[in-house]
Amino acid sequence: MSEIRTRVLIVEDEADIRRFVRLTLESEGHETFEADTVQRALIEAGTRRPDLVVLDLGLPDGDGVDFISDLRGWSSVPVIVLSARSREEDKIRALDAGADDYLVKPFGSGELLARVRAQLRRHAHHNPAGETVISFGDIRIDLVRRLVTRQDQVVHLTPIEYKLLTFLATQPDRVLTHKQLLQTVWGPGHADDTHYVRVHMANLRKKIEANASMPRHLLTEAGIGYRFALG
């Protein structure tokens, strides 16, 4: 019986970079498809149904963010952005549109493969049917009972802290922007109140992390938002 290979769509208009990404992914056994424009990428995504998309933002017929916005209308496939744009506002714009991760050029093959593995792992385990418990370190989140425990002792969280923790923990390895967290946890009327997130995250870390000053699970993405790591 042949092994089922992960299908990755590479959207990049620079041939040398596209070849480097393709060879890197194929070295780890992934099946790759390529596109060099927004329109071609949408066609490939619709017909190939990839397991992951690696996307450049600067494409000849449009912006990669437009591709993400269109894709998110019908697919939840993880998207890793590869871009020379290193400004926080560019990262935030792509992540707010629905990208899952953002890697700035130039980048190494090892880092790219690590990001790909993380996204495929996250997508494979994102809210699988019947899963009601998330465990990491010595913490256990029971989503049915809405209960958080450490070594069988209840960790007392406020409703906001619980909602913030579960929103992050159900999407491990995904970068979530301040805006996404605010809209989900506090509601659309608080999209600019980033200090809310910082204050509650600081309190949450004190209750969840073994060392709040050196968090292992509730990680900061500087200037952008936060990411949850199971490790």
For residue 90, is it within any domain? yes
pTM: 0.77
For residue 166, is it within any domain? yes
For residue 187, is it within any domain? yes
Statement to judge: residues 16 and 35 lie in one domain: yes
* The pair of three-digit structure tokens given for residue 231, joined into one six-digit string: 């490790």
Q: What angle do CA 215, 142, 116 make, to 5 degrees?
A: 55
Q: pLDDT tens digit string along 60-92?
A: 999 999 999 999 888 889 999 999 988 999 999
Over residues 193-205, the mean pLDDT reads: 91
Statement to judge: residues 52 and 162 lie in one domain: no
Statement to judge: residues 110 and 145 lie in one domain: no
A 10 A CB-CB count for 51 gives 20
What pLDDT is stored for residue 152 in this prediction? Answer: 86
**pLDDT band for position 191 (cuts 50, 70, 90):** low
Statement to judge: residues 121 and 137 lie in one domain: no
Last residue of a domain, one of 76, 98, 125: 125
Statement to judge: residues 88 and 175 lie in one domain: no
Q: Which residues, other chains included, contact 11 with Cβ-Cβ below 8 Å and sequence gap of 6+?
A: 34, 35, 36, 38, 41, 44, 53, 54, 55, 56, 59, 64, 67
Statement to judge: residues 68 and 171 lie in one domain: no
Last residue of a domain, one of 125, 151, 180: 125
**SS3 category, 80:** strand
- The number of folded domains in the chain is 2
Q: What angle do CA 21, 40, 71 make, to 5 degrees?
A: 85
How many angstroms separate the CA atoms of 62 and 58, rounded? 7
Q: Which residues, other chains included, contact 3 with Cβ-Cβ below 8 Å and sequence gap of 6+?
A: 29
CATH at residue 138: 1.10.10.10
**pLDDT band for position 126 (cuts 50, 70, 90):** low
Domain of residue 80 covers 7-125
